[in-house]
Structure 1
Amino acid sequence: MKKFDLNIEQVLENWEVFHALREIIANALDEQVLTQSKEIRIECESEGKWRIRDYGRGLQHIHFTQNENQEKLTHPNLIGRFGVGLKDAMATFDRHDVGVEILSKHGRFTLGKSSKYTFDDVMTLHAYIEPPVDEIFEGTEFVLTNISETDIEKAKRLFLLFSGEEILSTVQYGQILQKHEDEANIYINGVKVATEEDFLFSYNITSLTKAMKKELNRERTNVGRTAYSSRVKQILLENKESSTMHLLVDSLNRFTEGDLPIELTWKDVAIHSCKILNARENVVFMTPSQIMRHGSMIDDIDGSDFQIITIPENLSDSLSDMKDDAGRPIRNLETFAEEVRDSLSYQEVSLQSLSKEELERWRKRDEILNMVGPMPDCILEVKLVESIDFAFDQVETLGLWQRDSGTILVARSQLKSLDSLAGTLLHERAHASSGRPDVDRGFESELTEYIGRLAADQIKRHKMVITPDEMSASKDVDSDVNAKKKKVSSFFERLFG
């Protein structure tokens, strides 16, 4: 038997058994990658006794020396790099009374305390090396006693391989993972180094920056966000998977609730996500203030196959002049309105095709439009069309003011009564004279003024008043409203005889 002095000068006092197990598992996984051998095994032989085995080249006494492993340093996807993990693990096992036996074709290794060479009064931890039990043994097997299943599970949870976390996307810098429960995990080459409460995803970084290599300490725990945030950003900026984009943008859509993940506080990531989604999905990006001001447009969007994505004002400003990967402008309120206008189609109605009643009502259009004052100069033409069709619209459009051409379009269906025709014509005139869209304060004010003029004129000409007695005679609100409707419904019929 030979004795190999482990010569451990610094003991990691805060390490628990599961930390030591992490090092053994990490070395086994690295050997699996380096040798392209079959998967490692972690098995319980009996209560408190566990075996951890890889199928690589086999442990040798040289592996107990403290030296950075050049083979591991030059390989991009390995866990280890310090050359001290095995020694740290041995010291931790010894401190916690864990029995250790290591088997490989190069020997049988156990632990024990012996005096330091030429210094009989100094006792240090040694590896005792004996001839191999099996000279053709494949790989390395650690036989550990006094190990609890809890320690094994704690150790396994430090590895992506055993975490059960779903890989959502893989790019050259790493992987985006589905976050479990309330904490996101940050892995480096499959080993957990940090947790984040406010991240949307977990991440596995497989390409390390110089800063990360510097920050990655022997313990591989509590690595600061500054060390890995730049790589996480690059992973997100390289990512184009629709599923992750939807999750990001859905989170962005909830920013008004104050529930914004860290990833979307990085403006370049938010912009990238919006650009990718714009190229692939029917979305319209709007700010909360736009949603408040443009209620009618919201109705149009909701009635189509488009989804509204709510974004902050500063992000909207940045997106306004950008194009997505397909070369299309980012669809905001203005571009959506342009697309709607460009999709307009209609067919004018021949007056000869109208019935006598329809023709009589249509001939009153100018009289109706002038009821609230002289026709605005911006209105140049009024057209009767079979229908007003938009590619995105699932609701019938009854009338339309076209500012560019100075034209009011009226659907033929509005000739069913003077009420319908007059209501549509005056509605579109209000758009023309106010220059404002539906559910806009300026438009509502204009329409209110029209109603006021018409009501005053009606009172003067026909004395159409709902008296207090009529109001009190109705016993419920519905009956009261119906009473008003009966008086108002024939307003235009009586007005034009």
Structure 2
Amino acid sequence: MVGKFGVGLKDALATFYRRGIEVKIRTPQADITLQRAAKSNFADVKTLHAAISAPSEPKRHGTDFTLRSLPDADMTAARDYFLRFAGDEELERTEFGSILRRRPDQPARIYVKGVRVALEEQFLFSYNITSTTAQLQRALNRERTNVGRSAYQDRVKAILLKATSDVVAEQLAQDLTRIPAGTNHDEVLWLDVQEQAVRILATKGKTVFVTSQQLFTMGATVQEARADGYKVIVIPDRLLARLSSLRDLNGNPILDIRGFIQAWNASFTYDFVDPSKLKKSERESWAILPELVRLAGDHAKRVKEIRISNTMRLDEGAYETEGVWDSPHIVVKRSVLDSRRHFARVVLHEIAHASSGANHGSIPFMAAIDDLAALGAIEAARASPARAGDSTNSRGGA
């Protein structure tokens, strides 16, 4: 009974008549029922005709269809094809159609102008397409109840790309995290839909986007982001590579974990600790500082002071550093005072930066590290000459 040329209506009336369902149509102009009658000039051929009589309700507004002898179950099933009666919850409306909440434990529904045309097992949402394409119209002319996805996929995508609501973005974001496990729905496999979800989420609040690998390898920084009030969203690697070219709905850059590091460091301030306020165990580690500076010799000549801070900048490795050469000072994080060995390792590491003026992995930095290690070995040998001699004799005997 849905169409533009009356063919669907006539087919439906004929089906009702054949199934023994009485139909009465009331309009302001006439009442209409169905009856079989001979065709004009063909007395032996009986066809279905509309029997028109005077209107029983001439002042009524609109048209009323009354169906008798129709089982309730059939009526319920028929009503379920129509969005108006099915009652699907609308999450967001766009110029191309609406996004509907998918019913639990049921396939997603695809409606076109309120009439269900397909079911989708792998869709996250149901949809009501109100602006059709030529391809979709052609498909509807061929089939009404089992339209193929290729006919409406572009319109579903267009609807999602116009979405701006929190509820839609949140569900898409949750589904993004399911991609590694293969339990996601099909919409989030479309890269432009992933990008739109990211834009919405970035617009709605403080959000940092990470991959599942970064969540594992940069866990300390992720925790810092959460502690700083950011919502951490896991996204696929392919999407992360595109974040730098994306902007949120307000035109602002979208923050990945390295962007968070830069923002953190730009606003960072040290929380310095007075050595006299250290715990006893921390003071025991701090007490070896003069010996470390003496051992470093000329390597430490550029270091004016070594200080302690409760907080520390994040480095490009995406974790909170334990120490930093912040010329002319070295600053170490308070947590490294948990043991003398830990403290010594961090201090000498930063002295190597001060001495070489170079970054991690560079030849000058590695040369400074090697020289400090050699100085430490010599100092150890001087401190226990007998043990060193025993070791030499033992190797010679071997």
Give TM class, smaller chain: 0.7 to 0.9
Q: Percent identity?
A: 36
Report 1:208-247 matches (<5 A).
208-217=132-141, 220-247=144-171
**Could you report, residue by residue, the CA deviation over 1:124-178 in whole angstroms, capped at 9, with x for unpaired residues?**
1111112222332333222212201101110111111222221111111111111
The structure with higher relative contact order (CA 8 Å, sep 6+) is: 1
Instruction: Give the direction of change, closer, same or farther, for the CA distance of 1:399–1:318 in structure 2 (3 Å limit).
Output: closer
Instruction: Give the direction of change, closer, same or farther, for the CA distance of 1:413–1:285 in structure 2 (3 Å limit).
Output: closer
The partner residue of 1:124 within 35, 47, 52 is 47
Query: Which residue of structure 2 lines up, in the alignment, with residue 409 of structure 1?
Result: 331
The partner residue of 1:187 within 90, 108, 111 is 111
Contact 2:35–2:51 at 8 Å: present in 1 too?
yes
* 1:435 maps onto 2:360 in alignment: yes
Instruction: Give the direction of change, closer, same or farther, for the CA distance of 1:289–1:226 in structure 2 (3 Å limit).
Output: same
Contact 1:399–1:408 at 8 Å: present in 2 too?
no
Q: SS at 1:255's partner residue?
A: coil
Contact 1:285–1:332 at 8 Å: present in 2 too?
yes
The partner residue of 1:115 within 25, 30, 38 is 38
Q: SS at 2:11's partner residue?
A: helix
Query: Aligned-pair distance for 1:303?
Result: 4.4
**Could you report, residue by residue, the CA deviation over 1:321-380 in whole angstroms, capped at 9, with x for unpaired residues?**
3332333322112111111211210265688x789x999975743633787999599x96
**Could you report, residue by residue, the CA deviation over 1:2-46 in whole angstroms, capped at 9, with x for unpaired residues?**
xxxxxxxxxxxxxxxxxxxxx2xx6xxxxxxxxxxxxxxxxxxxx
For structure 2, list consecutive stretches of 5 or more residues without a partner in the other structure. Answer: 315-319, 362-368, 388-398
In the alignment, the residues of structure 2 paired with residue 157 and residue 170 of structure 1 have an alpha-carbon distance, to the nearest angstrom, of 21
In the alignment, the residues of structure 2 paired with residue 463 and residue 204 of structure 1 have an alpha-carbon distance, to the nearest angstrom, of 87
Partner letter of residue 168 of structure 2? T
Q: SS at 1:137's partner residue?
A: coil
Query: Aligned-pair distance for 1:287?
Result: 2.4
**Could you report, residue by residue, the CA deviation over 1:47-91 in whole angstroms, capped at 9, with x for unpaired residues?**
xxxxxxxxxxxxxxxxxxxxxxxxxxxxxxxxx423322211111
Contact 2:293–2:300 at 8 Å: present in 1 too?
no
Instruction: Give the direction of change, closer, same or farther, for the CA distance of 1:138–1:278 in structure 2 (3 Å limit).
Output: closer
Contact 2:309–2:331 at 8 Å: present in 1 too?
no
Query: Which residue of structure 2 lines up, in the alignment, with residue 387 of structure 1?
Result: 310
Report 1:35-54 matches (<5 A).
none
Using the size of structure 1 for normalisation, the TM-score is 0.63
In the alignment, the residues of structure 2 paired with residue 431 and residue 197 of structure 1 have an alpha-carbon distance, to the nearest angstrom, of 58
Instruction: Give the direction of change, closer, same or farther, for the CA distance of 1:206–1:360 in structure 2 (3 Å limit).
Output: closer
Q: SS at 1:250's partner residue?
A: helix
Report 1:62-73 matches (<5 A).
none
In the alignment, the residues of structure 1 paired with residue 33 and residue 245 of structure 2 have an alpha-carbon distance, to the nearest angstrom, of 68
Query: Aligned-pair distance for 1:301?
Result: 3.7
Query: Which residue of structure 1 lines up, in the alignment, with residue 22 of structure 2?
Result: 99
RMSD (CA atoms): 4.0
Q: SS at 2:145's partner residue?
A: coil
In the alignment, the residues of structure 2 paired with residue 292 and residue 406 of structure 1 have an alpha-carbon distance, to the nearest angstrom, of 35
In the alignment, the residues of structure 2 paired with residue 417 and residue 301 of structure 1 have an alpha-carbon distance, to the nearest angstrom, of 28
Query: Aligned-pair distance for 1:210?
Result: 1.7
Q: How many residues align?
A: 364
Query: Aligned-pair distance for 1:435?
Result: 3.1
Query: Which residue of structure 1 lines up, in the alignment, with residue 394 of structure 2?
Result: none
Instruction: Give the direction of change, closer, same or farther, for the CA distance of 1:361–1:186 in structure 2 (3 Å limit).
Output: closer
Partner letter of residue 360 of structure 2? G
Query: Which residue of structure 2 lines up, in the alignment, with residue 293 of structure 1?
Result: 217
213-222 or 96-105, which deviates more:
213-222
The partner residue of 2:259 within 335, 357, 371 is 335
In the alignment, the residues of structure 1 paired with residue 277 and residue 216 of structure 2 have an alpha-carbon distance, to the nearest angstrom, of 41
Report 1:473-488 matches (<5 A).
none
Q: SS at 1:341's partner residue?
A: helix
420-429 or 144-153, which deviates more:
420-429
Query: Which residue of structure 2 lines up, in the alignment, with residue 269 of structure 1?
Result: 193
Query: Which residue of structure 1 lines up, in the alignment, with residue 77 of structure 2?
Result: 154
